[in-house]
Chains A and B, each alone.
Chain A
């Protein structure tokens, strides 16, 4: 790792095709800054991207990266990290990827607590398919596939994470570049699964959860004296449906990542040229 890495080193030469004003620009910038400021460089970083507008992030960033199938970004990230714990693994995807098609993986990735960062670019809409309801869309949100609203309460991803045994739960707003970057950085530095739900407004298809809406309603927990290690306080904030919070909401300081608990400390890519030494013992076991 070199200390002189700047965030632009994480930028590829491909110009994003996100709509002008898309929240994903800010979300991505914070991720790149967070990676650079925590001493990572593109050659030791692996970014896994989901499907949807957010999934394009792997193309616009420069690092080792995989853009996979819809909803399965987290398992890929877990596989990468366990195979080579020296890598910095960051997974990014949308609310559909994380809380709908991939919701099962979300729950279990949280439980497993592998040392990686998961940024969900939450715009409360399906953008790339041109405006259908997402799992975080409001109950009365009218879309082409939900003309009378979804008639279902939105998923509360923070609560889902807490209920699954999360060790780091945070929420950010993509347009608050400084706070977003700081919090991403904390998630990267957290020893375990750093989960960051980022409000990343869709300027084209979501006229409800807009920049103005978030600017007007968001409450920065950093200014409220919230103690993220206080689990009860964190639960209260998470279940408070009246407010949109920003900041590190919960952090377990005693978190030990899965790979450490399991004694995984080698780069699994390193193997001998033939069968491992003493492999005939494997055969003799069957006597």
Chain B
């Protein structure tokens, strides 16, 4: 990948790291460059190391690598934290006037750029703009036209008044000019071309929120939790424009039950949370399934168990979303593998939920949720959004769904398992439903025949969907390769790039990225045809590998990462190579 540049700003939480990084990422996007961002952050408001990293190229980027070319270091620790990724020729921008940075030693071979960020910012109108001065310096190093940064500053500070915007532009130029003058003779060797392409920049949580709006979701109830809160924050305010509402519930128990109530009233409803919230909601999963209520439940996974590492990546909730809850709960589990797929799979989740009147788990992970990525806007073509509400019956059709005594049958055991659905307010549609086993009328029963009929009916919905819906996976690489890599969730980008690296060494791989976790594609032929099958996932025990072994009755190799950090392309290429020759030990 030519012209691939890795940039980061790091410091203490509270230093404005995320907003500065976002401003730069937007400037790059506006300049027609592709961007993929990642964040290292701690679960606290102030204090603790945090960094915002950008990988940028004129080509599409979908993963991170173990390489850092330009680092804005606001603290000494920032350099230490990134020592593995810095290399000969890396540029470190820092403010040598800061007392805490005076002892900073620039490692051999790297270029230290001592820029008085704070002083220059003060001259431009305020010390608060020190980070912006650093962005100006970064523009100069890479020959990046600073006008693109101006646009980004306008977007960020426009609502604070033109004076603030102008000061920030001045601050950026101060940084640019300082580097141009003081380091006129230094050859940095970095350049960032621009293109005329228009891109949008968004993260997985935002894509899920936008997907929900596009799909007609009108009710969202949730309780704030990292890393799912962005979904709620995205929808707040925006959903009102379409006649909907976001409700912050008192806890996750309430959130899922509010969403269930809204769905019973006929709204497309969802809740989003992370593992701990899923734990609390689990009792209600059974009710959602038993009452045959369409509901989308989004789990943005983070590292567990218990409070675990709340701001770190993990794919540890697969078993819970597949099996969570007492009794046997029919459900669908859908897991987008890219940021743009977060949008499309959300739309699909709503259709699946309503067509089959079933809980649908939308499983994303922290790496997907917080990574921003650029896309051509056409990738979210709203004209392509289809809405299928399933078997909703209105007053003109309701007569054909009443029993001999004129009662509506919300759990009528239709051959495909899907019963008619009447929204409250529909004349002659009044009916009850319950978490108790019930008959076609929704009324409690313990009669053996009815019990079996209703269990079979609910399970039949899964079988019907298995036949009627697309549960395929995406395939990459050489279809005849001896080595088959299978993965789910956000690992797709890193694996694809890792394959490119392996291809350079003459190693061909077949890769299946699986976005449907239940029902899921039949992988038995692919595994049978491969000499080695390797399942890649961010957890310690290999939950997806277990599931696949169970499906195909064959052992697979596993690559597991549970450090709390997502896979990187170069490390993955090496891991795959190792796994091809010997069974992989879980890494620490």
User: Looking at chain B's contact residues, is the secondary structure mostly helix, strand, loop, or mixed?
Assistant: mixed
Nearest B-chain residue to A263, judged by Cβ: B240
**A72/B377 in contact, CB under 8 A:** no
**A76/B267 in contact, CB under 8 A:** no
B268 located at the interface, meaning its Cβ lies under 8 Å from any Cβ of chain A in the complex: yes
A67 partner, pick from B240, B258, B262, B433, beta carbons under 8 A: B433
Nearest A-chain residue to B265, judged by Cβ: A83
A146 located at the interface, meaning its Cβ lies under 8 Å from any Cβ of chain B in the complex: no
Determine the distance from Cα of A48 to Cα of B264 in the docked complex, in whole angstroms: 11
Determine the distance from Cα of A105 to Cα of B257 in the docked complex, in whole angstroms: 11
Determine the distance from Cα of A264 to Cα of B239 in the docked complex, in whole angstroms: 11
Within 8 A of B (CB), among A225-265: 262-264
Query: Chain A, interface size: which category?
Result: 35 or more
B385 partner, pick from A67, A69, A75, A275, beta carbons under 8 A: A275
Within 8 A of A (CB), among B363-405: 377, 380, 382-383, 385-387, 405
**A283/B377 in contact, CB under 8 A:** yes
B257 partner, pick from A43, A76, A286, beta carbons under 8 A: A76
A59 partner, pick from B215, B380, B425, B443, beta carbons under 8 A: B443
**A274/B382 in contact, CB under 8 A:** yes
**B259/A79 in contact, CB under 8 A:** yes
B72 located at the interface, meaning its Cβ lies under 8 Å from any Cβ of chain A in the complex: no
A66-90 interface bits toward B, Cβ cutoff 8 Å, 1 = contact, 0 = none = 1111011011111111111011000
State how many angstroms separate the Cβ of A212 from the closest Cβ of chain B. Answer: 33
Query: Chain B, interface size: which category?
Result: 35 or more
**B261/A80 in contact, CB under 8 A:** yes
A62 located at the interface, meaning its Cβ lies under 8 Å from any Cβ of chain B in the complex: yes
**Chain B residues within an 8 Å CB radius of A12:** 432, 443
**A271/B249 in contact, CB under 8 A:** no
Within 8 A of B (CB), among A93-115: 104-105, 107-108
**Chain A residues within an 8 Å CB radius of B255:** 75
Determine the distance from Cα of A236 to Cα of B257 in the docked complex, in whole angstroms: 35
**B435/A69 in contact, CB under 8 A:** yes
B426 located at the interface, meaning its Cβ lies under 8 Å from any Cβ of chain A in the complex: yes
State how many angstroms separate the Cβ of A128 from the closest Cβ of chain B. Answer: 12
**B198/A66 in contact, CB under 8 A:** no
Determine the distance from Cα of A67 to Cα of B445 in the docked complex, in whole angstroms: 14
**A108/B250 in contact, CB under 8 A:** yes
B284 located at the interface, meaning its Cβ lies under 8 Å from any Cβ of chain A in the complex: yes
**A75/B253 in contact, CB under 8 A:** yes
**Chain B residues within an 8 Å CB radius of A273:** 387
**A76/B250 in contact, CB under 8 A:** no
B183-220 interface bits toward A, Cβ cutoff 8 Å, 1 = contact, 0 = none = 00000000000000011111000100010011110110
**Chain A residues within an 8 Å CB radius of B29:** 287
B119-145 interface bits toward A, Cβ cutoff 8 Å, 1 = contact, 0 = none = 000000000000000000000000000
Nearest A-chain residue to B258, judged by Cβ: A79
B249 partner, pick from A56, A75, A267, beta carbons under 8 A: A75
Counting chain A CB atoms within 10 Å of each CB, which of B255, B262, B263 scores highest?
B262
Nearest B-chain residue to A87, judged by Cβ: B424
Nearest B-chain residue to A88, judged by Cβ: B424
A42 located at the interface, meaning its Cβ lies under 8 Å from any Cβ of chain B in the complex: yes
Q: In the complex where A86-B425, A276-B242 touch, is A286 in contact with B269 (Cβ < 8 A)?
A: no
Extra 6 A-B pairs, beta carbons < 8 Å, given A76-B258, A276-B242: A66-B434, A67-B432, A75-B255, A84-B265, A105-B254, A107-B250
